[in-house]
Amino acid sequence: MERIIAFMENKENSHLLKEWLSDKYELIVADLNEPPNGYFDLGILDGPSLKRLWKPLQERKKAEEPTFLPYLFITPQKNIRLAIGDLWKIIDELVLIPIEKAELQVRLERLLRLRRLSIKLRQRNEDLEAMTQAVTHDLRAHMRVILGFTQAVSKDQADKLDKQGLHYLERIQSEAEAGQNLIDMLYDFLRLGREGVRKQPVSIEYITNICLSALSEDIERQKAQVSVDGNLPEVQADPTLLKLVLKNLLANAINYVAPDVEPRVAVSADNEAHSHRVRISDNGIGIAPENQERIFQPFVRLHGVEEYPGVGLGLSAVRKALELMNGKIGVESESGNGSTFWFELPGNG
């Protein structure tokens, strides 16, 4: 039986709700002097209780995410304009007094159906995550065994193999390493955001320099020239997610160039009052207009792995990370003429 809590200051309305709903639901009348503790599937509020408990009810709703915790608000017709304001932040259904029992039950059942669906979805996601962890763990173990034996053969038996045999061994080792990298990247992609987003003031310049240091081998190999604007802003972001965003975009800008072209990469920003747009521009191979949305989808590759490495998860992970931080991303490009990837995040303050 689903549990409904009535946060009602009007005692007569509380008794009426109990009379109407107790045969179908477990209905509890809350003590308005206490925060909304304990398990419940739906809350019913009136004007005074909403005003009194707004913050703790909002915090409780947020704490349940991604599970849907519905609130139904009962208010007289004369208060409707006063009530509308910021109701959308917490209220999922609004019922005007006087109401009919049948109407109330229909609206409650609709909200509870959504609650049940969200619980099932969360459980399925948890099952999928558990399965992913188990499968990934086993696949990693198998890949380690394959790599271990190929390394042993390469070390102990190489002198017994002819040129063709050594070539086959190198291919096996290369493919096993690629498989291991794919498993690791897929696992990281599926885990993205699972540990929560910890937003705080973060310097774009500081994170950019960390990423460039991590990419120093790529920069040296490609003979890349990277310029960083000295006026990069602070944003509200999760440092780990922001590092993922910048490292992927910078790595792409450094590596996705035509043969024999030395990469030129520029990092800059447009500073606005409430948000900042960061740009990473390059002189790379560019992206045709028809592919500029596709590249942000998982496992989409526009080029063969022989031309450019990767498995097609980098940009989809970037977009997912930015969405978790309430940001967005886009690209300005044309085939053969370089690209400018941009992303926006809320400013600090």
CATH number of the structural domain spanning residue 303: 3.30.565.10
Give the domain-ending residue among 149, 165, 191.
Answer: 191
- β-pairing, 339-346 vs 275-282, is antiparallel
Choice among 57-71, 111-125, 304-318 with the minimum mean pLDDT: 304-318
Is the same domain home to 170 and 133? yes
Q: Which amino acid is at 71?
A: Y
> What is the pLDDT, as a whole number, of residue 304?
47
Choice among 29-33, 144-148, 194-198 with the minimum mean pLDDT: 194-198
Q: How many domains does the chain have?
A: 3
pLDDT in tens, 322-340: 999 989 999 998 888 889 9
* Nearest C-alpha neighbor of 40 from the set 7, 88, 74: 7
Give a yes or no: residue 114 inside a domain: no
Give the domain-ending residue among 138, 173, 191.
Answer: 191
Per-chain mean pLDDT for the chain = 85
Q: What is the residue range of 153's domain? A: 125-191
What average pLDDT does this structure show over 163-173?
Answer: 88
pLDDT in tens, 174-210: 888 878 877 877 777 777 777 778 889 999 999 999 9
User: Is the pLDDT at 298 greater than 70, yes or no?
Assistant: yes
Say how far apart CA 245 and CA 233 lie, in whole Å: 16
pTM (whole model) above 0.85: no
Report yes or no: 150 and 106 within 8 Å, Cβ to Cβ. Answer: no
Say how far apart CA 329 and CA 318 lie, in whole Å: 8
Say how far apart CA 277 and CA 270 lie, in whole Å: 5
Give a yes or no: residue 62 inside a domain: yes
Place of tokens 């390469």: 154
Res. 84 pLDDT band, cuts 50 70 90: low
Is the same domain home to 207 and 340? yes
% residues pLDDT > 90 (the chain): 32
Is the same domain home to 216 and 336? yes
Say how far apart CA 234 and CA 244 lie, in whole Å: 17
> What is the pLDDT, as a whole number, of residue 15?
84
User: Is the pLDDT at 311 greater than 80, yes or no?
Assistant: no
> What is the pLDDT, as a whole number, of residue 231?
83
